[in-house]
Structure 1
Amino acid sequence: MSVRIYVASVSSSKSLQSQNMKIENVLKANNIQFELIDICTDTSLREQMREKMGDPAAIPPQIFNGDNYCGTFDSFIEAVDDGHLMEFLKLK
């Protein structure tokens, strides 16, 4: 399985852009391979993300390991702060 991050590359929200960068930086710093899936390139990707989560209103960034949902940006940061990143990403 691989870590997949659903992101939106086209966003006027500085907060969303910052969240995307923070996730990428943490994963790179921990040598965790990941795939970015940009929902702006194809609207079916946004629907795919929402369907996997079971939330028709979800917005990126959203984090998965393969098709297994891991969580939101906030839960990602909480896992990093608590030292449970690998468990959060379902890599342990």
Structure 2
Amino acid sequence: MDNNLASRQTGVVKFYVANICGNQHVKKLQIRAQMIMESKGVAFETIDITAEEMEAEKKFMLENASPRANGKIPVPPQFFNQDEYLGDYEDFAEAIELNRLEDFLKVPIFDHEARKAWRPYSNIEKSLSPIFMGVTIILAVFLSYGIMSTFSMPLTLFLMILSVPCTLLVFSLFYRK
């Protein structure tokens, strides 16, 4: 991946979709592309070409997107950076497979480590997180033993098993990554 971000356009990716779509395959491709761009931290604008107020955008997409070899009209999802056509979903998927999404979209993509650096934790928060985890585990154990003396064995086992995700939930609230 090219790390020279100065060579990248600073625009937002225009992501053309059709929210009213009878083709479930196209709908899945749109959702997958959106989820991938969101997970990668890509700045993008979703443009629904089926909305009446987006008629000019629909016309722009149809005039500027390249049809596939079969010569049919371009269908969503389509990708643009500013007014530059980038490609369709097949081009997007190929860029992902080749680990060249940043080059394809022509915008910087920040990996998980870079995004994590944007939300630094204070030293106090870092030092308290293991304490909260320990307290939560101890409370779960005491709760389980208290339940064992009150309820039947199957219910006790169920509640002990239930305490594990609860512990993880509490842990995730205090120790965010």
52-61 vs 39-48, greater mean Cα deviation: 52-61
Cα deviations by residue, 1:30-68 (Å, 9 ceiling, x for unpaired): 011110000001333221111222658211110011111
TM-score normalised by the chain length of structure 1: 0.91
Alignment coverage as a number of residue pairs:
92
Which structure carries more relative contact order (alpha carbon 8 Å, separation 6+)?
A: 1
TM-score normalised by the chain length of structure 2: 0.49
Counterpart-to-counterpart distance in 2, 1:9 and 1:50: 16
Residue in 2 that maps onto 1:23: 33
Map 1:41-80; keep pairs closer than 5 Å.
41-42=51-52, 43-53=55-65, 57-80=73-96
Moved runs in structure 1, 4+ residues, more than 4 A? none
Name the structure where strand makes up a greater proportion of residues: 1
Structure 2: gaps (5+ residues): 1-10, 109-177
Alignment partner of 1:4 is 2:14: yes
Structure 1: gaps (5+ residues): none
What is the RMSD computed on CA atoms of the aligned residues? 1.6
